[in-house]
Structure 1
Amino acid sequence: MQDEPTPEELTRAVADFLRNDIAPVLSGHNAFKLRVAINALDLVTRQLRLEDGSDAAELGRLSQLLGQPGSLAELNRVLADRIAKGEADLQTPGLSGHLWQTTMDKLAVDQPNYGSYKRELEASDAAKKPSS
C-alpha cells in the first residue's frame, strides 16, 4: 500500500482535470469519448471509496443467509445455485432484503444519480428519522 495520494484521490484528480481543463476545449466525437472516460474514472473512484464496506456487508449477509463461511465469490455462487435449484426464493427469510441492499450498494457505485435510486435513498432516510 502506498501512502498519499490514495488511488481514490488520484482517479478523482485525473477526472477533475479532464472535466475542468480538457473537456471545455473539445467538441464532437472526441468530447463524447472524453465524457465516457470521465464517467469511467468517476465510477472507479466511487468503487474505490465504497467497495470495502459494501463487500464486507454483503459477505456478512450471505454468511448469515446461507449459514456458512466462505469468500464473497464462493457464497454468491452457492446462493445462485440454491436459487437455480429452487432451494431459495423470495420467500426465503432474509433473501429479499439481501438482494435489495446488494442492488442499492451496486447502484451507489454504478448509477448514484439514477432517479429511482435517489428516491429509495430518500425514502429509507425518511423512514429512519424519528417522528416528532
Structure 2
Amino acid sequence: MQDRPSAEKLLAAARAFLNETAMPQLSGQAAFHARVAGNVLDILARELALAPGFNKAEQARLESLLGEDGDLATLNRKLCEKIATGEMDLSNDALKNHLIRVTMGKIAIDQPRYQGYKTAQANGWPEEELGD
C-alpha cells in the first residue's frame, strides 16, 4: 500500500497553485485556460465529495421506482425504456421527484453557482440526497 495524499488533498494543492501562484502571473489566453483548468478541478472536487452519496440515493430511488435491484447504469437504462414506451411518465409523482433530484444533484456538482439552480433552491425544489 502506498502512503500518499488523498485525492481531495491533491486537488486542493493543484487548485492552490493555480489560484495563488500561476494565475497572478498569467494573462490573455493562458489566464483563460488556467481559469478553465481551475473550474475543472473545482468540478472534480465536488464530484469526489458528492457523487458517491448522490449515486447511492439515485440507485435506491430507481430500485423503488422500478421494483427491482441492479446497478445504476442498468436501472437508468430500464427507466429510459419505460419512459420511451410510455409505461412511465410525469404523471408519476415519484418519477417527477426522482428526475428533479437527479438534475439538482448534477447541477450541484457541475455548476452550483448557476442562477437557475439557486432559484430552484430558493423555491424549495428537492435537493439530491446523500445516500446512507
TM-score, normalised by the number of residues in structure 2: 0.88
Specify the code of the residue in structure 2 equivalent to 1:26: L
Q: Which residue of 2 aligns with 1:64?
A: 64
Extract unaligned runs of 5+ from structure 2.
126-132
Separation (CA, whole Å) in 2 of partners of 1:115 and 1:3: 41
- Structure 1 residue 36: deviation in Å? 0.7
Separation (CA, whole Å) in 1 of partners of 2:35 and 2:43: 12
Q: How many matched pairs?
A: 125
CA deviations 1:74-94 (Å, max 9, x no partner) are 000000111111111101240
Q: For 1:35-54, what aligned pairs fall within 5 Å after superposition?
A: 35-54=35-54
- Indicate the structure whose relative CO is greater, using CA pairs within 8 Å and at least 6 residues apart: 2
Is the partner of 1:89 in helix, strand or coil?
Answer: coil
Is the partner of 1:87 in helix, strand or coil?
Answer: coil
CA deviations 1:81-130 (Å, max 9, x no partner) are 111111111012400000000000110100010112122223339xxxxx
Specify the code of the residue in structure 2 equivalent to 1:66: L
Q: Which residue of 1 aligns with 2:78?
A: 78
Q: For 1:1-132, what aligned pairs fall within 5 Å after superposition?
A: 5-124=5-124
Separation (CA, whole Å) in 2 of partners of 1:98 and 1:78: 14
CA deviations 1:39-70 (Å, max 9, x no partner) are 10110010000011100000011000111000
Q: Percent identity?
A: 46
Separation (CA, whole Å) in 2 of partners of 1:74 and 1:20: 43
Separation (CA, whole Å) in 2 of partners of 1:24 and 1:52: 34
Extract unaligned runs of 5+ from structure 1.
126-132
**Cα RMSD after superposing both structures:** 1.7
Separation (CA, whole Å) in 2 of partners of 1:81 and 1:103: 19
Separation (CA, whole Å) in 2 of partners of 1:111 and 1:26: 24
Distance change in 2, residues 1:2/1:104 (3 Å): farther
Specify the code of the residue in structure 2 equivalent to 1:62: L
Specify the code of the residue in structure 1 equivalent to 2:116: S
TM-score, normalised by the number of residues in structure 1: 0.88
- Structure 1 residue 3: deviation in Å? 5.7
